[in-house]
């Protein structure tokens, strides 16, 4: 299951930097496809954002990781993701075919199940200091070592999002956020960027009363040479 056009690949390319005062910038390497509401014809508005972020991470693994067996396993569909979670005993049979959400923990199970990629799940307590220091440090370290996109979600801010990079400047940090909530006709990357579906977001703009979880695919040992 993949979006119809390669126009949906690497949609952050060409996005301007958030500021001119970079102290440190860490980004993903390699290719991915942007999965979002309805991109494969299934109407998952209101419940499918976590699945779409998992699909984006899966596409990155398919394109950038060895051994070759990872390339023979296509990006799983939403029904396949649900069935996998039932098969491994994380969900009951009623979950299959439902509109129940999934989060970072389920995302980690799915990536391990389909691709043998273990994930580190990091819990970041609410509050600006935790986000600005704990989350940012984890993300810099992750992108430098593993190069893969990250899944992010929380409690009060329960909208799943992909994170493709982190930028630290003199006046705070930014996350490069890929938002799976777009639904509509296919847009090219310039239009997606203009509308903010992929954008640099100030860490301080995140919900300061929400905790956040990060699902960090541990892909260093599987990487092809970029």
149 Cβ contact partners less than 8 Å away, ≥ 6 residues apart: 28, 32, 56, 57, 60, 162, 163, 164, 178, 217
Q: Report the distance separating Cα 153 and Cα 180, nearest Å.
A: 12
The residue annotated as part of the active site, out of 39, 49, 62, 215, is 49
DSSP E strands, 70-189:
119-124, 150-154, 161-169, 172-178
Residue 31 bears catalytic tag: no
Residue 179 bears catalytic tag: yes
Instruction: Tell me how crowded residue 93 is: count the other CB atoms within 10 A of its CB.
Output: 8
CB 56 within 8 A of CB 81: no
List the one residue out of 129, 120, 134, 76 whose CA is nearest residue 215. 120
The residue annotated as part of the active site, out of 25, 90, 116, 181, is 181
Q: Report the distance separating Cα 139 and Cα 145, nearest Å.
A: 10
Q: How many residues does the chain have?
A: 226
Residue 12 bears catalytic tag: no
Q: Report the distance separating Cα 122 and Cα 37, nearest Å.
A: 26
The residue annotated as part of the active site, out of 12, 62, 65, 179, is 179
**Residues forming the active site:** 49, 179, 181
């Amino acid at each position: 299951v993949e979006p119809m056009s390669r126009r949906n690949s690497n949609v952050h390319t060409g996005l301007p930097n958030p500021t001119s005062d970079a102290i440190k910038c860490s980004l993903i390497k390699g290719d991915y496809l942007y999965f979002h509401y309805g991109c494969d014809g299934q109407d998952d508005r209101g419940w499918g954002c976590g699945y779409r972020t998992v699909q984006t991470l899966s596409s990155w693994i398919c394109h950038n990781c060895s051994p070759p067996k990872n390339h023979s396993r296509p990006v799983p569909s939403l029904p396949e993701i649900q069935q996998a979670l039932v098969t491994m005993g994380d969900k009951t049979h009623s979950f299959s075919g439902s509109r129940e959400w999934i989060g970072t923990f389920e995302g980690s199970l799915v990536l391990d199940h389909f691709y043998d990629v273990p994930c580190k799940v990091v819990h970041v307590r609410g509050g600006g200091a935790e986000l600005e220091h704990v989350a940012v440090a984890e993300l810099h370290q992750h992108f430098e070592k593993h190069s893969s996109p990250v899944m992010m979600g929380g409690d009060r801010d329960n909208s799943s999002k992909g994170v493709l990079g982190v930028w630290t400047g003199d006046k705070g940090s930014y996350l490069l956020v890929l938002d799976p909530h777009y639904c509509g006709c296919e847009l090219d990357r310039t239009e997606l960027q203009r509308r903010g579906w992929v954008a640099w977001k100030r860490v301080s703009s995140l919900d300061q009363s929400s905790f956040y979880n990060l699902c960090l695919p541990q892909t260093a040992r599987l990487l092809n040479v970029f």
